[in-house]
Structure 1
């Protein structure tokens, strides 16, 4: 990875075009279709797909750098694309471990399919360990899914939805079923994404009204409840690491904007640029000290996933922890950047104003602060008595 240059796949001119559209996308509360079209043309949707299947054959650590870079231009675009990349990343993690059941996802991504992430459900804090969506088996091995998913990014444009549901008919206990379904009349995408920030993700509610997953697209059946099954690890690892990458990219952009503002602004009191003011220098130094740790942590953890390093049960603490740290760090850096830039950053036309709203979304993604702390507490103190 040492020779990898993210600017090759995400050149400056492409990044600037995406950045130039971000404010209007946010203002109009629409999906950034032009961004997706240009990224698809650049091969971005297949960066994690093996070269022999038509992709770029990149490692997770390399794609983390790409997502950090993309988020500096448009956090919403990066977060939306993240959900597609999660599924191609899961296919890679499982394929690297000898499980080829998601090869069709890799082939689909190389052919232009857009995969959405249909896991989140209102009130379901079990997340990957449970589901309120009914999964009813068919005689041929397929499944019928009925339920409601929330925060389905790429709402207007996805072509395939990766999801899970609960099969309560199995004689050996409830099974969580992971599968992929096509866009069809049995799927309703609600136009209900009207949020404070991350508006371009268009993470709409998705209603499943008996949508059928073909037998060849049912990829895993696992026991309900906590599990170390490869698909659970694959989803959790790629989701947390790429999510942390996006918010780390938000922090980098806020830091860069703060540095620009400090150099541009002049103190009426001293007549000198704010970049020479000791308080401002302290503030920006604190932002940089907080930011600098995250790219390094992401690099190491992504490389460990790529290499198949076995951290055992500690993986869940490491992964939820890096996501939590990335989000809290990014929020702190954006807060400090707003103070550095001054009152102009409070206007919606200011990029920092948008970053301030966008970064708040991070606290709602799994693992949320409560889950991250609970996982860490159990790792270090042991589980609570039953």
Structure 2
């Protein structure tokens, strides 16, 4: 179970005016169709989508959050969430993999929009083409971001050496920069959580080829072992107390992570509705004298239920992303809104995919079918933080106060 991320109100620096940002769609229909055409193959062979990544790099997608003035696309969180819904509908695993890079670069931009430029080094490196991944998850660490099993050993020059094992490291074959964290116990009375970025060529890094999962196979989220890996002083961007923190960094991380995750799973739901509709028009019924299942009242009910659910979640993703972009003040309800959106998006997508499977019949049970793959892919959502238990604890605390 992930921890309750309900935090005291953060002290946020005075925002600076944001430069105008592009809002036009980045991913063309043709590119998305090409990416969709490869998804089954990557899933079947359990391989990383190198061709997809090359195409996304070519259109500048990995520089989505980089300001236009620095050579990026200058997109807002709402813009990127919109694109991730579309990419998630085409190839969920590709979308989830690139999501991790977008979360790292996005949290830097969310902080910059609020006048905090401590992560500008991430933006600068993304502008130069570096690929970022997250190295935060650890086996057996149900406190997630509020403690760590990884050791962070301070160096005399202000840098840190990290030693520990990180799991679910998406983009593991290609990342060049890893945003990670560990625990500094050099002062046992005041332990610290140290957040930094390490380079793949820093030495002491083992990336294991151990990703063999039920779904989301193309993410290739292998285990990463850190053995005294150095993060120089300039790559260390936060030292926080163990436990919940009101630091704006934590808000920015939760905001980008939860919203962009919700976007990917919302994309899965969108595609499932499309497949259900196509199946209903294609399949015919002997019972109903050869008419298509689009004329069957029970099938129509199921598709309507799926469409109603899907129509309800899509505006929520855009609205909460817009609130982050526009510096809306939700006060103590911010974290409840973020974790609630993630849980709703995942559970909604699971419901919609299930309805689509019921509509499409037994053929979708065979391996190789797109709906069967979506069914396996959508299950991964229940393992991302915040999980259902943690989200309910967060929302309950926001509305009812802490347990006494």
TM range (shorter): over 0.9
Secondary structure class of the residue paired with 1:266 = coil
Alignment counterpart, residue 23 of structure 1, candidates 28, 40, 47: 40
Tell me the distance in 1 between the aligned counterparts of 2:57 and 2:22.
24
Deviation, 1:380, is 2.4
Q: Deviations over 1:199-248 (max 9, x none)?
A: 00000111000000011000111111111211111111100000000000
Tell me the distance in 2 between the aligned counterparts of 1:233 and 1:50.
21
Partner of 1:332: 351
Q: Deviations over 1:290-340 (max 9, x none)?
A: 111111111111011111112122111100000000000000111110111
With over 3 angstroms needed to count, the CA separation of the structure-2 counterparts of 1:257 and 1:3, relative to structure 1, is farther
TM-score normalised over the length of structure 1? 0.97
With over 3 angstroms needed to count, the CA separation of the structure-2 counterparts of 1:81 and 1:277, relative to structure 1, is same
Partner of 1:345: 364
Q: Does 2:247 match 1:229? A: yes
Deviation, 1:374, is 1.2
Secondary structure class of the residue paired with 1:313 = helix
Query: 8 Å contact 2:160–2:231 — kept in the other structure?
Result: yes
Q: Kindly report which structure 2 residues correspond to 1:76-225, keeping only aligned pairs within 5 A, or say none.
A: 76-170=93-187, 173-184=190-201, 185-225=203-243
Q: Alignment RMSD, CA only?
A: 1.4
Q: Deviations over 1:53-94 (max 9, x none)?
A: 111001000100000000111000000000000011010011
Q: Does 2:337 match 1:321? A: no
Partner of 1:265: 283
Tell me the distance in 1 between the aligned counterparts of 2:187 and 2:86.
45
Show structure 1 runs of 5+ residues with no match. none
Partner of 2:259: 241
Partner of 2:402: 383
Deviation, 1:282, is 0.7
Tell me the distance in 1 between the aligned counterparts of 2:231 and 2:161.
6
Show structure 2 runs of 5+ residues with no match. 1-19
* Highest RCO, 1 vs 2 (Cα 8 Å, sep ≥ 6): 2
Tell me the distance in 2 between the aligned counterparts of 1:377 and 1:106.
36
TM-score normalised over the length of structure 2? 0.93
Partner of 2:377: 358
Alignment counterpart, residue 275 of structure 1, candidates 286, 294, 312: 294
Query: 8 Å contact 1:54–1:107 — kept in the other structure?
Result: no
